[in-house]
Amino acid sequence: MCGIVGLFLKDKALEPKLGAMLSEMLICLTDRGPDSAGIAIYGAATGNEAKITVQSPKPDRDFRGLDAELAKAIGAPVSVAVKSTHAVIRTTPDKVDTAREALQTLRPDIRIMGAGEAVEIYKEVGLPEAVVDRFDVRSMTGTHGIGHTRMATESAVTTMGAHPFSTGADQCLVHNGSLSNHNNVRRELVRDGMKFETENDTEVAAAYLSNRMAHGKNLGEALEGTLSDLDGFFTFVVGTKNGFGVVRDPIACKPAVMAETDQYVAFGSEYRALTKLPGIDNARVWEPEPATVYFWEH
């Protein structure tokens, strides 16, 4: 099972409601995956600020005084906004890599959920509603976002096993399905220098995309590659700085429904996730074709 949602806004007037709309969509699919949930929200990129979303098993200890220590270590201004077990670290775009390295020394228990100019990623064990409440997702503004609720099959129910998985700057992936060749692909990627946190199959898909892009492919080409290199069942939704993409394996037994109006493009594992969206009764609703890469971008 697992449930996926995605929402890409065309109408700026809806942007203050993005978090609320995406939250409702995800909660609707709770019975597709009650183990853990996650959401990636994209705010408008300003160009002069970068965000690193981090998670800690001991937020009180790890986030206290982090802004000053990190600012000193990287020699640039840093702000830290704590939300439950997560924190969003803001700094200048040129200092992101330095900050990631510094965090490893300053706070070895911290895990990086994702980084970029626009994205914030929140994920935890628990029901979608609990996760949405914990991170106050409903109040979040943004241009687009993706979410996932997990029924674990391939690895343990942990925060790091939850989706979305980061695939690069401002990129992340959610997955419904299961990959059968993830151990082999992981071994090949490890040989090529990729690092893994979990035994999870989706983390392998995320690392596969990052790796292909590091070898010069664009995201569309990397997604095309999943059709031949990944064996198993998948509907993937990827978030990018400007929008989102969808691809389903050639067998396409993992469900997917899309809806488009003048105001938005929406994705749901099931139609019921879309039923509360404005104007849904007159939306164009369709099922994405198997083995076909789709993109919507601003």
Partner 1 sequence: MPANTMSKAERDQGHARVFDLSQHSLRELNQALHKLTPGSNETAWEVLHPKGSHSVAVGVDQPVSIDVRGSVGYYCAGMNDGATITVHGSAGPGVGENMMSGSIVIKGDASQYAGATGRGGLLVIEGNASSRCGISMKGIDIVVHGNIGHMSAFMAQSGNLVVLGDAGDALGDSIYEARLFVRGKVESLGADCIAKEMRPEHLELVQGLLDKAGVTGVKASEFKRYGSARKLYNFNIDNADAY
Contact 99, 69 (CB under 8 A): no
Q: Is 225 in the site for partner 1 (CB under 8 A)?
A: no
**60 vs 281 by CB, closer to partner 1:** 281
Find the shortest distance in angstroms from Cβ 259 to partner 1.
10
**197 vs 286 by CB, closer to partner 1:** 286
Please give the distance of CA 188 from its chain centroid, rounded to a whole number: 24
Contact 146, 164 (CB under 8 A): yes
Q: Is 253 in the site for partner 1 (CB under 8 A)?
A: yes
In angstroms, the CA 147 to CA 119 distance is: 13
3-state secondary structure of 34: coil
**22 vs 103 by CB, closer to partner 1:** 22
Find the shortest distance in angstroms from Cβ 286 to partner 1.
7
Q: Is 260 in the site for partner 1 (CB under 8 A)?
A: no
Q: Is 213 in the site for partner 1 (CB under 8 A)?
A: no
3-state secondary structure of 218: coil
Contact 247, 229 (CB under 8 A): no
Find the shortest distance in angstroms from Cβ 140 to partner 1.
25
Find the shortest distance in angstroms from Cβ 23 to partner 1.
17
| Number of residues lying near partner 1 (CB under 8 A) | 15
Among 153, 286, 297, 298, binds partner 1 (CB under 8 A): 286
Please give the distance of CA 218 from its chain centroid, rounded to a whole number: 18
Catalytic residue, from 2, 28, 172, 253: name it. 2
Q: Is 279 in the site for partner 1 (CB under 8 A)?
A: no
Contact 271, 258 (CB under 8 A): no
Instruction: Give Cα separations from 288 to 28, 145, 229, 233, 248 (angstroms).
Output: 20, 18, 21, 15, 8
Q: Is 68 in the site for partner 1 (CB under 8 A)?
A: no
Q: Is 61 in the site for partner 1 (CB under 8 A)?
A: no
- For the question of residue 172 being annotated catalytic, the response is no
Among 49, 243, 290, 295, binds partner 1 (CB under 8 A): 290
Contacts by 101-105 with C-beta closer than 8 Å and gap 24+?
A: 102/70, 102/73, 102/74, 103/52, 103/54, 103/70, 105/73
Which residues of this chain interact with partner 1, rule CB under 8 A?
A: 251-253, 255, 257, 270-275, 285-287, 290
Q: Where in the sequence numbering do the catalytic residues fall?
A: 2
